[in-house]
Amino acid sequence: MSAESVVDLSGIVQKFGRVTALDGVALTVRKQTIHALVGENGAGKTTLMKVLYGALKPTEGKVIVEGQERHFTKPQDALAAGIGMVSQHYSIIGELTCLENLMLGAEPGWTIPFANARTKATELATQMGFSFDWDALAEGIGPAQAQKLEILKLLWRGARIMILDEPTAMLSPTDADLLFAKLHELADSGTTIIVVTHRLPEVMDHCDDVTVLRGGKLIASKPVSETNPEELTEMIVGHSVDIPAPTPATPGAVILGVSGLTVKGERGDDAVKNVSFELRGGELTGLAGVDGNGQRELFQAILGLLPFSGSVALDGVDLTKKSTKDRLVAGIRLIAEDRHHEAVIEDWSIELNGVLGLHHTEPIRRGMLVSANARKEIGEAVTNRFPTKFDRVGQRFGDLSGGNQQKVVTARAFQQNPRLILAFQPTRGIDIHVSALVFQALKEQARAGSAVLLVSFDIDEILEHCDRVLVINHGEINEPPEHLRGDRQAIGRLMVGAE
Amino acid sequence: MIDPLVILFGLASIQGLTLLTSALTLSSPLILAALGGLCSERSGVVNIGLEGKMLGAACAAGIVGQLSGNPVLAVLAGIGVGTALSLLHALLTQTFRMDHIISGMGINALAVGGTSLIAKTLSNQLSGRMASFPIFIYWVAAWTAVVGIWWYLKSTRGGLRLNAVGNDPDKARQMGVNPVHVRLFALLWTGIFCGLGGTLIVTNAGSFSDEMTAGRGYIALAALILGGWRPIPTLLACLAFGFFEAINLQMQGQSFFGQTIPREFWQSLPYLVTLVALAGFLGKNKPPSGLGRP
């Protein structure tokens, strides 16, 4: 490990209008190391990385890469200087083959010598220990494979400095460990890696140095060997977070009964395969699993948004043939995965979005009308439930920041006496303080007699908050045996079907 | 006793060759227009303005062909107007972010009104047949273009980028591909192909008349959809439509077993087939995912 620095950012200030996202931040990354950049949502991690790879031009500050001062105006400039980024949202186009995705934007010439390119791609992949069906369409590859392809894309373009934004967010623990093993190999062979993450175990186990940002300011930057998780947590959060001691669950009556549920996925195969389970009141149940294993389809079928075979009952009443409207009225609430497409109408006001989906429940519904009073009341309730920054309830929903939008969507699920809350990553984009409040609220709702099913891709989140754990893998749901309920590794193995 | 069916088949075999040449002639403008549509739609730009571009090109080629007596100038005028209208579509949809359908309809309306006005204004200076190249050249152009586009999509950098932009302009942009450049280039070719298509239509007729493209732009669009936005299947769909149009020309006025089938039936046959084929295939062929996205 050398002490030579390849990236030197100093005095970086980034302003968006009157908001200062970065306030005089410095970052030094040593050659051939894995450098962790940690902080809460909104701490400025992504903004800083955007400055480094040319997606943002800093208001002030210096960017020095490999000893040379740089003024990138677009990501391609940064790439030409050897810096590339794998963002959380992959830029892989499903309709192209893996090989085409690999080359897009950096093709070998005017015509493409496919046979040649395939050989070169295979060589590159073999070096990393990856294997690809280069001629298969990329839409079929899973998140772990997609991540590998993104890394190869950077190598194909000759990147020497690689930024990975939350690289393990979509991966199972096994895949995450494999990924870091590969990153170590890459670092040894000359690449420098910056990992943006919020998972401290990853930082402690796999990274050489760590930099902490909070509220757009640099808090600390030091070798991982000189710090510990407690110190890091405190630096990230600023003060310790109080989470009330969990009260043990007392499972009540069966609320949701699902039996023999099979749901077809987008590609025509069974996304959920003959699944049966019960959820009881009083319990917060976590559904662990890697993204894309049928969680989405399961939720949509329970709410009646997708056709399915099998049966779904709520409070002993068979809902199998009921419409989504009837299911909502019966008390099923969904905190949808994709807020923009499934949960809100962005051009509507906060207030209208607050009653959206609840508009058939009394007393919001008054005959053919929507009660203005009830609407106003709900509008206030959804903004007060979690600390939300907004001007007025009549404001356009789309003008709220992402985190605040999510708070409103989550708060809506608690309105009008829910019997069952289906929560799909309800804290996505919400900072750590409010996240704690959301989990607390879900738990309280459960304690008050409702059933809650929480989908999360983060095992630790589930272990921390849930009373009961179910695991979904390839559309099949398993419950870990009694003695392994709190065993991270065992759940991880179930998630990838290794058990 | 001679079976009437034998007579019918006998007639058909004599007429077979004419039927074939007729089908080829009639399908060529469709092929050219459909290829124009393919360039545009594979890049993600919806193009219902094929009709208008062909009509504009037909008018320009016809008038220039009559006035100058020079076939080269006629073809250049056709291609020029087709390209100009296509670049207008690019300007409206890419620079001004106008809805692709509305822009396309605007171009169609502009072409109908504009060509009619120009043709009327110049009517006393126009006479005789326009100067033109032999039809055969257009056949060769159309068929070569099909193979050319097929190869371009499959084996070139431009083809890969066209495909990428047509399916996901945002991700393509992230990979350093400029969607606007790709689409501009694609629409340039749309203009060239529609220009050739329009020129061919007016060449067949000898001189321009109002709305002479008669919906071929829309049929070409239907063929493109039937062909799943792929060059070779689109060619086959165009040939099928050309064939039914040829049948229409041959069968009009012929009687079967003493019964006369009204000529309106034969005239509507190609359109009926389009309707049925579209109803049967639409939804099965997946359009480029980025179609209509800015």
Structure tokens at A362: 């009394």
Q: Is the pLDDT of residue A252 over 50?
A: yes
Q: Is the pLDDT of residue A280 over 80?
A: yes
Asked if A100 and B168 come within 8 Å (Cβ–Cβ), the reply is no
Asked if B172 and A104 come within 8 Å (Cβ–Cβ), the reply is yes
The amino acid at A466 = C
Which one is predicted more confidently, A471 or A42?
Answer: A471
Taking alpha carbons only, the member of B43, B81, B35, B58 closest to residue B220 is: B35
Residue A4 is predicted with a pLDDT of 84
DSSP characters for B98-140? --HHHHHHHHHHHHHHHHHHHHHHTGGG--SPPP---HHHHHH
Complex prediction ipTM: 0.85
Q: Is the pTM for the entire model greater than 0.90?
A: no
Q: Give which of A77, A85, A95 to mutate to test B binding, by max B Cβ within 10 Å.
A: A95
Asked if A96 and B177 come within 8 Å (Cβ–Cβ), the reply is no
Of B157, B158, B171, the CB nearest to A91: B171
Question: Chain A residue closest to B159 (CA)?
Answer: A111
Asked if B157 and A96 come within 8 Å (Cβ–Cβ), the reply is no
- Which residues of B are less than 8 Å from A111 in CB distance? 155-157
- Under DSSP, the state recorded for A111 is B
**Residue A407: strand, helix, or coil:** helix
Strand order in the sheet with A83-86: A83-86, A161-165, A192-197, A34-38, A209-214, A217-223
Signed CA dihedral, A188, A192, A197, A200: sign only: positive
- Which residues of B are less than 8 Å from A105 in CB distance? 161, 172, 175-177
Of B157, B168, B176, the CB nearest to A93: B168
Which one is predicted more confidently, B73 or B256?
Answer: B73
Asked if A93 and B171 come within 8 Å (Cβ–Cβ), the reply is yes
Torsion of CA A430, A435, A441, A447, to 10 degrees: 140
Task: Write down the mean pLDDT value for chain A.
Answer: 87
| Cβ–Cβ < 8 Å for B167, B41 | no
Interior angle at CA A147, CA A142 and CA A150, nearest 5? 125
Asked if A95 and B160 come within 8 Å (Cβ–Cβ), the reply is no
Phi, psi at A66, each rounded to 5°: 50, 45
- Which residues of B are less than 8 Å from A104 in CB distance? 160-161, 164, 172, 175, 177
Q: What is the pLDDT of residues A23-47, one digit of tens each?
A: 999 999 999 999 999 987 778 888 8
User: Helices B135-155 and B179-205: crossing angle, nearest 10°?
Assistant: 160
A91 close contact with B: CB closer than 8 A:
yes
Strand partners, A470: A287
Q: What is the pLDDT of residues A216-230, one digit of tens each?
A: 899 999 999 999 888
The mean per-residue pLDDT over the stretch B172-180 comes to: 91
Residue A254 is predicted with a pLDDT of 92
Q: Is the pLDDT of residue B91 over 80?
A: yes
| Cβ–Cβ < 8 Å for B204, B92 | no
Q: How far apart are CA A124 and CA B49, in angstroms?
A: 45
Q: What is the pLDDT of residues A82-124, one digit of tens each?
A: 999 988 778 899 899 999 999 998 898 899 989 999 999 999 9
Residue B284 is predicted with a pLDDT of 67
Question: Chain B residue closest to A95 (CA)?
Answer: B167
Asked if A109 and B176 come within 8 Å (Cβ–Cβ), the reply is no
A317 close contact with B: CB closer than 8 A:
no
Taking alpha carbons only, the member of B192, B153, B183, B148 closest to residue B50 is: B192
**Distances from the Cα of A119 to the Cα of A99, A115, A133, A460, B175, angstroms:** 10, 6, 12, 41, 22
Which one is predicted more confidently, A169 or B121?
Answer: B121
| Cβ–Cβ < 8 Å for B63, B117 | no
Asked if B160 and A114 come within 8 Å (Cβ–Cβ), the reply is no
Task: Write down the mean pLDDT value for chain B.
Answer: 89
Question: Chain A residue closest to B165 (CA)?
Answer: A93
**Residue B39: pLDDT band with limits 50, 70, 90:** very high
Residue B12 is predicted with a pLDDT of 57
- Which residues of A are less than 8 Å from B158 in CB distance? 110
C-beta atoms surrounding A361 within 10 Å: 18
- Non-local (6+) Cβ contacts of A16 within 8 A are none
Q: How far apart are CA A40 and CA A251, in angstroms?
A: 34
Q: Is the pLDDT of residue B40 over 60?
A: yes
The mean per-residue pLDDT over the stretch B6-31 comes to: 75
Of A79, A96, A107, the CB nearest to B157: A107
Q: Is the pLDDT of residue B185 over 70?
A: yes
Q: Is the pLDDT of residue A1 over 50?
A: no
Question: Chain A residue closest to B166 (CA)?
Answer: A95
Asked if B174 and A91 come within 8 Å (Cβ–Cβ), the reply is yes
Structure tokens at B176: 């350093």
A104 close contact with B: CB closer than 8 A:
yes
Q: Is the pLDDT of residue A199 over 50?
A: yes
> Which among A258-272, B215-229, B237-251 has the top mean pLDDT?
B215-229
Distance in Å, alpha carbon of B157 to nearest chain A alpha carbon: 5
Distance in Å, alpha carbon of B287 to nearest chain A alpha carbon: 11
Q: Give which of B174, B230, B284, B289 to mutate to test A binding, by max A Cβ within 10 Å.
A: B174
Residue A340 is predicted with a pLDDT of 78
Interior angle at CA B30, CA B29 and CA B35, nearest 5? 100
Q: Is the pLDDT of residue B14 over 60?
A: no
Which residue matches tokens 């931040």? A25
The amino acid at A52 = L
Collect contacts of A135-138 with beta carbons under 8 A, ≥24 apart: A135/A97, A135/A98, A135/A99, A136/A97, A136/A98, A137/A94, A137/A95, A137/A96, A137/A97, A137/A98, A138/A92, A138/A93, A138/A94, A138/A95, A138/A96, A138/A97, A138/A98, A138/A100, A138/A101
Residue A240 is predicted with a pLDDT of 52
Asked if B172 and A93 come within 8 Å (Cβ–Cβ), the reply is yes
Strand order in the sheet with A476-478: A332-335, A420-424, A451-456, A284-288, A468-473, A476-478
Structure tokens at A76: 């391609």
Asked if B176 and A112 come within 8 Å (Cβ–Cβ), the reply is no
A69 close contact with B: CB closer than 8 A:
no
Q: How far apart are CA A315 and CA B246, in angstroms?
A: 67
Asked if A95 and B289 come within 8 Å (Cβ–Cβ), the reply is yes
Distance in Å, alpha carbon of B161 to nearest chain A alpha carbon: 7
**Distances from the Cα of A304 to the Cα of A260, A299, A311, A319, angstroms:** 15, 9, 11, 9
Asked if B175 and A96 come within 8 Å (Cβ–Cβ), the reply is no
Q: What is the pLDDT of residues A333-364, one digit of tens each?
A: 999 887 878 889 988 999 999 888 888 888 78
- Non-local (6+) Cβ contacts of B152 within 8 A are B158, B159
Tell me the CB-side half-sphere exposure of residue B84, using CA atoms within 13 A. Answer: 12
Q: Which burial class, exposed, middle or buried, applies to A390 when counting CB atoms under 10 A from its CB (0-12, 13-18, 19+)?
A: middle
Which one is predicted more confidently, B250 or A324?
Answer: A324
- H/E stretch holding A69: strand A68-69
- H/E stretch holding B142: helix B135-155
**Residue B28: pLDDT band with limits 50, 70, 90:** very high
Structure tokens at B47: 């193009």
Which one is predicted more confidently, A487 or B120?
Answer: B120
Asked if B160 and A94 come within 8 Å (Cβ–Cβ), the reply is no
Distance in Å, alpha carbon of B233 to nearest chain A alpha carbon: 19
Q: What is the pLDDT of residues B134-167, one digit of tens each?
A: 988 999 999 999 999 999 999 999 999 999 999 9
- Which residues of A are less than 8 Å from B157 in CB distance? 107, 109-112
Asked if A91 and B156 come within 8 Å (Cβ–Cβ), the reply is no
Residues 107-126 on A with a CB inside 8 Å of B are 107, 109-112, 114
Question: Chain B residue closest to A115 (CA)?
Answer: B155
Asked if A103 and B160 come within 8 Å (Cβ–Cβ), the reply is yes
User: Helices B4-42 and B157-167: crossing angle, nearest 10°?
Assistant: 90
Cis peptide before A363 (omega within 30 of 0): yes
